[in-house]
Amino acid sequence: MKKLHCIICGKPLGNGIMINGNGVCLDCEKRIINTDMNTDFYRYYKNCIRKYMIYPMIRGEDNNCQNYHL
């Protein structure tokens, strides 16, 4: 079984929250909660989470008909 790691700091995940099957450790969770939204740190945390949540779509392919060959 693959060990989970924090998607922000990369440390092994002991406890924290799960986002879309990926973990954020308790320390990073606290930092995100206490960080002002107008800082570079907040943008960094947001981008780390976004990387794991966004489903990549091939350019030119419609979301409703991916992989459907009629």
For 7-62, the pLDDT digits (tens) are 999 999 888 898 878 899 999 999 999 999 999 999 999 898 888 877 665 566 56
Q: Could you tell me if residue 68 is inside a domain?
A: no
Are the CB atoms for 2 and 22 separated by under 8 Å?
Answer: no
Containing structural domain, residue 24: 1-54
Are the CB atoms for 23 and 17 separated by under 8 Å?
Answer: yes
Q: Could you tell me if residue 67 is inside a domain?
A: no
Q: Cα(20)–Cα(66) distance, rounded to whole angstroms?
A: 21
Q: Could you tell me if residue 23 is inside a domain?
A: yes
Q: Could you tell me if residue 64 is inside a domain?
A: no
Q: How many domains does the chain have?
A: 1
Q: Could you tell me if residue 69 is inside a domain?
A: no
The pTM of this model reads: 0.66
Q: Could you tell me if residue 10 is inside a domain?
A: yes
pLDDT value for 57: 59
